[in-house]
Amino acid sequence: MTEELFRHDGYQFEFQAQVESIDGELVVLDRTAFYPGGGGQVCDTGTLDDYLVTEAFYDKKGDVAHRVPGHSYSVGDDVWGSVDWNRRFDLMMGHTAEHLLFGSLRREVPDLEISKIFISPESKYVIVSKDVSWKDIRKAVVFANAAIRDNLTVSRIMMSRDDPDLADKVRIKLDRIPEEEEISVVAIGDIDYSACSGVHVMETSELGMIFVDRKVSAGKDGMAIHFKVGDTAADSAMELAVTCLEAAEAADSKPEDIVKAVSNMKKEIEISRASLRESSRALLSSVEPRNVNGTFVYSAMVHGADRTVMAEAAEKVKSKGGVAAFVSYGETVSAVMSSGSTKTDCRMVLTEVLGKFGGRGGGKPDFAQGGIPDPDKGEDLLEAMEDAIVKSLSLSNIN
């Protein structure tokens, strides 16, 4: 079995070892400081002599295999290993920060469970069993950063399964640990105990700062809480703070009132949308049709009408055997067409007309919809639709 140097000393990143076995580009050594990944933390990379180690992982025998493309080692060779320390330290910080952050979140939400952890140089997050409010996240982050300033010792304690402290204090998933194994518990001062065999820093001050910068739904698993640690946490916090100040200015609000201001704006928008829907509905139902060769043609242009309202009105026209051409304009221009006449094929007419304005659409012979990119061409679009409808109803002139 490979002697796992990272188990005893997370800070050893250079080591001498001997090649024990080789399988193509995979090299197994008698000892290694390369962490093979596990517990949600990705593996180390680095070098063996002048060769790159692109990956390290546990092989089927439980040894640490190093992927060393292009190596020329033979069994028995001495090697000098070097782990990419910047990457490793970032992962150690991330892993320790994850313990501290989750422990702090659990102080605010005692029944919170952890379902997954992911620690890589690019991304660090913990998936928790349910949504956590920003209010609780704020309290947890304040607590975690105070623990960082207190410079608590991070230590490893070995416990047996029947240790009374285990059930009392320690976050653990016993079913994931083999019966015969002693349990390795990572303690942060006396505020957090978690069963873990990964690599961690020795003191919380090494973390510098923890900052939660995002939460994203993880579907049935719950909520992914993304965090940053160290200098990247400070950079991210500053950037987001400035974004918040910018948003407050744009919303004519004080920064501390921005959440309320945005929520009021959303309510106002909902109310205006509802009233716009009502007036569009009224306008479209009062359109006077023109008789084109025995078929009633309804056409109208409505500012800001949504497609659903236009579609509703168009369906009514269709059911009466008429033809409808409705255009809505605003920031975009959209068109809806329906036909209760076999002479007018909506899909054909509309896609051809939209094409002339650089737009796109689709549908069926009795109903079609689409839009064009130029917001100033609404009127021209409606005219072109009317002309095409008249043509399809075999008339050369709308009058």
163: left (phi over 0), alpha (psi -120 to 50) or beta: beta
Contact 48, 110 (CB under 8 A): no
Residue number, 207 or 335, with CB nearest to Zn ion: 207
Shortest separation between residue 200's beta carbon and Zn ion, angstroms: 6
Residue number, 99 or 377, with CB nearest to Zn ion: 99
How wide is the angle at C-alpha 294 spanned by C-alphas 340 and 312, nearest 5°? 30
Residue number, 102 or 211, with CB nearest to Zn ion: 102
Distance, in Å, from the CA atom of 301 to the CA atom of 307, rounded to the nearest integer, reads 12
Tokens matching residue 125: 């997050």
Residue number, 36 or 198, with CB nearest to Zn ion: 198
Residue number, 204 or 299, with CB nearest to Zn ion: 204
Residue number, 174 or 259, with CB nearest to Zn ion: 174
Residue number, 81 or 198, with CB nearest to Zn ion: 198
Shortest separation between residue 155's beta carbon and Zn ion, angstroms: 12
Report helix, strand or coil for 227.
strand
Phi, psi of 115 (to 5 degrees): -110, -25
Shortest separation between residue 250's beta carbon and Zn ion, angstroms: 41
Residue entry with tokens 């609404």: 378
Residue number, 31 or 171, with CB nearest to Zn ion: 171
The CA distances from residue 277 to 129, 262, 302, 382, 397, in Å, are 40, 22, 11, 20, 33
Contact 188, 152 (CB under 8 A): yes
Distance, in Å, from the CA atom of 322 to the CA atom of 341, rounded to the nearest integer, reads 7
Shortest separation between residue 91's beta carbon and Zn ion, angstroms: 11
- Of 44, 63, 42, 62, the closest CA to residue 54 belongs to 44
Residue number, 206 or 366, with CB nearest to Zn ion: 206
Shortest separation between residue 210's beta carbon and Zn ion, angstroms: 15
Residue 244 CA, chain-centre distance (Å), reads 20
Query: Which residues in this chain contact Zn ion in the complex, by CB under 5 A?
Result: 95, 196, 198
Beta bridge partners of 212: 227
Shortest separation between residue 99's beta carbon and Zn ion, angstroms: 5
Shortest separation between residue 101's beta carbon and Zn ion, angstroms: 12
Shortest separation between residue 280's beta carbon and Zn ion, angstroms: 58
Q: Within 13 Å and on the Cβ side, how many CA atoms surround 212?
A: 29
Shortest separation between residue 360's beta carbon and Zn ion, angstroms: 52
Please, what sign has the CA dihedral across residues 256, 261, 262, 267?
A: positive
Distance, in Å, from the CA atom of 28 to the CA atom of 48, rounded to the nearest integer, reads 11
